[in-house]
Amino acid sequence: MNKKTLILSGMGLNCERETAYACEKSGANEIEVLHTLRFLEGTTHLKDYDFVVLIGGFLDGDYLGSARVGANRFKYGISESVNLKEQFLDFIESGKLILGICNGFQLLIKLGLLPDESQAFSDQVVSLTQNRKGRFENRWVNLKINPQSNCVFTENLEHLYLPVRHGEGRLVVTDSEVQRSLVDQNLITMFYADKHGEATDVYPYNPNGSWNNIAAISNKKGNIMGLMPHPEAYNHYTNHPQWTRMTFTEEDGEGLSIFKNAYQYLDQL
C-alpha cells in the first residue's frame, strides 16, 4: 500500500527533519511535513494519511505547561468547519498509526487520546508534568520493552537505548483504577531501565520520576503510542554518544526499529 506519513511541525516543534529522515529510512513511500496551523485550518484531512507523527521540540516555548495550549488548539480549533475529534477517532478505528514523541506524547495525553481514545477531546486521565528533579534532562536512557504489550511500534523489541530531552516528562497517574488498567491491560510499552536492562526508579536511569518508571504507553488497540525518549534522534550509529569508542555491526540506529515496525505493519494493513 502507499504508506503516506504526516509530520506536524511549527509552533516551536523542531524535530521534523530527523523524523522525516527516520521515516524515509524505515520504509515510508510519501512524507509530508505540514505546519500545525495549516492542518488546523482544514486544508488537509487525516483520512488521506496512514501514519501521523506528532514530534518533539519546544512547543510554545515550553512556557505554558506541557502541550496544554497545543491541545486547546486541537480541541477548539481555528475553523468551526473542522471536526478533528471525528477525524482522529475514524483514523484510529481504521487501524492507522499515531506516534507522539516528547511534546507529541504530551499532546496525546492532554487531548485524551492516550491511554484511551474514547476519552478523546474531553477527559484527561493521566498527566505529564515537571521532572522530579525540577530541571531539564538531556541524557541517554536504557529502556525495557514490555513483552506483553500488543503495541505495533514495539513488536519484537526487548531493549532500546535512546536520548531524552525534556523538562516535563514525569508521568503522573493518581487514579487507582487507571493505574490498574495501565498495568493489567499492558498499556505500558516501555520502562526506564538500569544498565542491566531492569526497570528502575533510580535517578538518572529514570530521568524524571515517572510513576511505575513509565517511558511510553499505548492504547488498547496498540496503534497509538506516546513516548518521552526520541527514537528519531538515534537514526544512525554515529548518533550514539560512544560511537567513536564502540564497534557497530549496523549503520542504522536503534531508534529506527520503532519506525520500521510501523511501516511493516502498514504493509499488511
Domain enclosing residue 8, as ranges: 4-268
CA distance 123 to 223: 20
pLDDT of residue 61: 80
CA distances, 202 to each of 21, 168, 174 (Å): 33, 17, 20
pLDDT of residue 2: 58
Can 232 be counted among the known catalytic residues?
yes
- Percentage of the chain modeled with pLDDT above 70: 98
pLDDT of residue 116: 96
Report yes or no: 55 and 104 within 8 Å, Cβ to Cβ: yes
Active-site option among 137, 166, 230, 254: 230
Each residue's pLDDT tens digit, 38-79: 999 888 999 999 999 999 999 888 776 778 889 999 988 767
Can 166 be counted among the known catalytic residues?
no
* CATH number for the domain that contains residue 169: 3.40.50.880
| pLDDT (mean) for 122-146 | 95
Can 151 be counted among the known catalytic residues?
no
The total number of structural domains that make up the chain: 1
Amino acid at position 196, single letter: H
pTM of this structure: 0.96
Active-site option among 102, 137, 151, 166: 102
Active-site option among 16, 137, 232, 254: 232
Res. 1: pLDDT tops 80: no
Each residue's pLDDT tens digit, 6-21: 999 999 999 999 999 9
| pLDDT (mean) for 232-239 | 98
Torsional sign, CA 150, 232, 2, 74: positive
